Structure 1
Amino acid sequence: MDWLEFSAAGLAFMATHLIPATPRIKAPLVAALGRAGYGIAFGLLALGLLYWLILAAARAPFIELWPQEIWMRWVANIVMPLVILISSYAIAAPNPFAFEGRASGFDPDRPGIAGITRQPFLWALVLWAAAHLLVNGDLAHAILFGVFLVFSLIGMRAMEKRLIRRIGLAEFNRLAARTSLIPFAALLTGRWRPRGRPSALRLAIAVFAWAAVFHLHELVIGISPVP
């Protein structure tokens, strides 16, 4: 197969992610499935294609770029709980700036996770991609995780520009007054201060998800995360 399967999986994954940015395709799907149904269907499709892409990278010809060291595995194991924690607090949280958030319930004076960063899930993807890029030093995985890393960074600005076009710069600035794109910048500049307690339920979900990912990684992906 050489690189054929890896290329096909990558093209399929990228093509699928054009759907949310193409109203002529997305609108009929939302109308047919409902917003919740569309979100579930698209999420399952994207997850399935990502799984295929990861397996295809593992089956691609192995061309080493740098050797794997034990400390690299420790870095990945330290970063991944943070990735899952951020994702747990980001998904479906009141956050009109991010694709994983929801506009309803957002208070500009109490922005919640958006006070830390307006794009928490994309930053989680950046950390995930960077940690896995470090620990997988062959060409196929360098392409896979390198592309995720670059596109996650590019996607942050692209999403914010799209939102500005939709609601206008003045409204964007009003909503974003106590937030920042760079993590913790609003906190360091004094524009935001945490209020209230973090959700215990989201924390419990994060702990459960991390335990599941850690223990099922070898079964699902074929590689043990243990250093």
Structure 2
Amino acid sequence: MTFLIIGLVIFLGVHSVRIFADDWRRQQITRMGENKWKIGYSLMSAVGLALIVWGYGVARETPVVLWNPPTGMRHLAALLTLVAFILLAATYVPRNQIKARFHHPMVLGVKAWALAHLLANGTVADVLLFGAFLAWAVMSFIAARRRDRAAATTYPAGAMSGTLIAVVVGVLAWVAFAFWLHGPLIGVRPFGVAM
């Protein structure tokens, strides 16, 4: 559990600099240059993510169960992760109505993903991992919207074609991950079937 906690502190800490210390962040980018900042940011993120993956895997070997979620939570989790994949796709597909409306679909996708996994899992490691990501996503979204208002940021109007592409890409990615990749990569088959 220690490595999971250290990984969360590093990974979410690095990703929280803009939330809690944006002025300091800008000063560091000015002082060291954008490329060096990005390299350091990426290395720290990678270390944090590796510790999260390793620590979570170790914690799952001897799980401490807090509650056993009802079976229906798995269905709700599946729906929420589908929404998360569509939001993630909308982050990258240009000129879609989802991004035009919500401005920060990736952070909303993290919220949906974390909430889904909190609802469907009941161990201490799950609460730490997904609870931390959910708390971070809530704070990140609030901070991003505040920055947008302060800078009077406007987002281009979305087109139906971009929205349809985002939805189709999100659904296809969700199907691939839920039915084929989640089992081999995470060790859990969300639908309990091998395909």
Q: Does 1:63 align with 2:67?
A: no
When normalised by structure 2's length, the TM-score is 0.74
What does residue 30 of structure 1 align with?
A: 34
- In terms of fraction of residues, the more helix-rich structure is 2
**Is the contact made by 1:67 and 1:137 (CA closer than 8 Å) also made in structure 2?**
yes
Please state whether the residue corresponding to 1:68 is helix, strand or coil. Answer: coil
Question: 1:69-88 alignment to 2 at 5 Å?
Answer: 69-88=70-89
Alpha-carbon spacing, 1:16–1:79, altered in 2? closer, same or farther (3 Å): same
Q: Does 1:123 align with 2:140?
A: no
Alpha-carbon spacing, 1:18–1:115, altered in 2? closer, same or farther (3 Å): closer
Q: C-alpha displacement at 1:29, in angstroms? A: 5.4
What does residue 166 of structure 2 align with?
A: 202
When normalised by structure 1's length, the TM-score is 0.65
**Which whole-Å CA distance do the structure 2 matches of 1:226 and 1:52 have between them?**
27
**Is the contact made by 1:129 and 1:149 (CA closer than 8 Å) also made in structure 2?**
yes
Alpha-carbon spacing, 1:72–1:19, altered in 2? closer, same or farther (3 Å): same
What does residue 226 of structure 1 align with?
A: 191
**Is the contact made by 2:182 and 2:189 (CA closer than 8 Å) also made in structure 1?**
yes
Question: 1:40-189 alignment to 2 at 5 Å?
Answer: 42=42, 46=45, 49-50=48-49, 52-60=51-59, 61-91=62-92, 93=94, 112-165=97-150, 167=151, 171-172=152-153, 175=154
In structure 2, stretches of 5+ residues that fail to align are none
Please state whether the residue corresponding to 1:7 is helix, strand or coil. Answer: helix
Alpha-carbon spacing, 1:151–1:15, altered in 2? closer, same or farther (3 Å): closer
What does residue 8 of structure 1 align with?
A: 6
Q: C-alpha displacement at 1:145, in angstroms? A: 0.9
**Which whole-Å CA distance do the structure 2 matches of 1:68 and 1:92 have between them?**
35
Q: C-alpha displacement at 1:164, in angstroms? A: 3.8
**Is the contact made by 2:81 and 2:113 (CA closer than 8 Å) also made in structure 1?**
yes
**Is the contact made by 1:19 and 1:26 (CA closer than 8 Å) also made in structure 2?**
no
**Is the contact made by 1:13 and 1:50 (CA closer than 8 Å) also made in structure 2?**
yes
**Is the contact made by 1:91 and 1:121 (CA closer than 8 Å) also made in structure 2?**
no
**Which whole-Å CA distance do the structure 1 matches of 2:117 and 2:54 have between them?**
14
What does residue 17 of structure 1 align with?
A: 15
RMSD: 3.3
